[in-house]
Amino acid sequence: MMNQNEKKLNVAKAAVKHIHNDCLLGMGTGSTVNFLIDLLPEIKNKISAVASSSVQTENLLKMNGFEVQALNQLGMLDLYIDGADEATKNLHLIKGGGGALTREKILAENSKKFICIADETKLVKRLGIFPLPIEVIPMARSFVSREIIKYHGKPVYRENFVTDNGNEIIDIHNLDIVDPIQLENELNQIPGVVTVGIFARRKADVLLIAGEHGVDEIYP
Ligand code: 5RP
C-alpha cells in the first residue's frame, strides 16, 4: 500500500509534465505543492518566471534557487498549480486549509490554466465535509460569523493564526454546499469577508488525482 506522501509525490511528478517552455508559473501552497517545488530545479530552464501564493511557498522556492516575482510585474500567468482540501469531479474546490486562500484565488484567477493536484482522499461527491475557510478582516469576525449562522453553518475561529495579509480565518463546519458557485458569490458579498475558500467561479481546469494505481486526469 502506498502512503499519502508517496501519492503526493506521484501527483507532483505528473504535474511537472504539464509545465511547458517559457512558462510564467504560479505556485500554490501546502504539502502537496511542496513536493512539486522540490522537483522544479530539474526543469528550471522551462520556467521564465514564478509567482507565489504565500510566504511559505516563496521561502521554499528561494531555497530551491528561484527568484520570486511580484504578480503586478508579470500580468497573466500561463499556469497555476495548487493543491486542495476537497475537490469534486466538476473541478470545484475547497481551499484554505493552510490559510493562503486569498493569494491562491488571486493567482488562480490570473492564470490561463489552473491545475489542481491532490491525492484521492481529497475527492468528494459534494463539498462541505472539510470546514470551509473564510478569510475575514479582524474587526468583522463576529459579524461575519453571525451572518454565516444564517446558512446553518457553525463558524469556528482559527485561533493563533494570522494570514499573510494580516487577517483572520473562520472555518465553517456543517455547511451543505449544494450550489458552490451561488454560495461563493453570496458569501463574498458579506462585508468584512476577504475571500471564501470555495473555488467554483474560477474552478480548476484539470484535476490530477493520485491513487494506489497511478494518477488520473479529470477534465470538466
Ligand atoms: C492552502 C491550501 C492548500 O492547497 C490545501 O490546504 C491543501 O494542502 P495539502 O496539499 O497540504 O493537503 O488551500 O491554503
The predicted pLDDT at position 100 comes to 98
Are 19 and 96 found together in one domain? yes
Mean pLDDT of each 10-residue bin along the chain, 220 residues long? 96 98 98 98 98 98 98 97 98 98 98 98 97 98 97 97 98 96 98 98 98 96
Indicate the pTM of the whole model.
0.97
Candidate of 7, 29, 165 to mutate for ligand 1, largest count of ligand atoms within 8 Å of Cβ: 29
The predicted pLDDT at position 130 comes to 98
Candidate of 5, 58, 95 to mutate for ligand 1, largest count of ligand atoms within 8 Å of Cβ: 95
The predicted pLDDT at position 182 comes to 98
Q: What is the C-alpha separation between 220 and 203, in angstroms, rounded?
A: 10
Are 51 and 88 found together in one domain? yes
Task: Please count the CA atoms within 13 angstroms of the CA of 5 that sit on its side-chain side.
Answer: 2
Are 149 and 177 found together in one domain? yes
Are 82 and 160 found together in one domain? no
Pocket of ligand 1 (CB under 6 A): 28-32, 82-85, 95-101, 104
Are 81 and 165 found together in one domain? no
Are 152 and 136 found together in one domain? yes
Are 80 and 30 found together in one domain? yes
The predicted pLDDT at position 177 comes to 96
Domain count, the chain: 2
CB-based contacts of 196, cutoff 8 Å, min separation 6: 101, 132, 134, 183, 184, 187, 188
Are 119 and 166 found together in one domain? no
User: The CATH number of the domain where 18 resides is what?
Assistant: 3.40.50.1360
Are 39 and 75 found together in one domain? yes
Which range of residues forms the domain containing residue 26?
4-124+201-218
User: The CATH number of the domain where 136 resides is what?
Assistant: 3.30.70.260
Are 112 and 209 found together in one domain? yes
The predicted pLDDT at position 111 comes to 98
The predicted pLDDT at position 184 comes to 98
What residue type is 160 in one-letter code? N
The predicted pLDDT at position 4 comes to 96
Query: Is the CB of residue 82 less than 8 Å from the CB of residue 29?
Result: yes
Q: For this structure, is 104 an active site residue?
A: yes
Are 188 and 92 found together in one domain? no
Residue among 58, 86, 104, 147 flagged as catalytic: 104
The predicted pLDDT at position 189 comes to 98
Cα-to-centroid distance, 95 and ligand 1 (Å): 6
The predicted pLDDT at position 38 comes to 98
Are 43 and 110 found together in one domain? yes
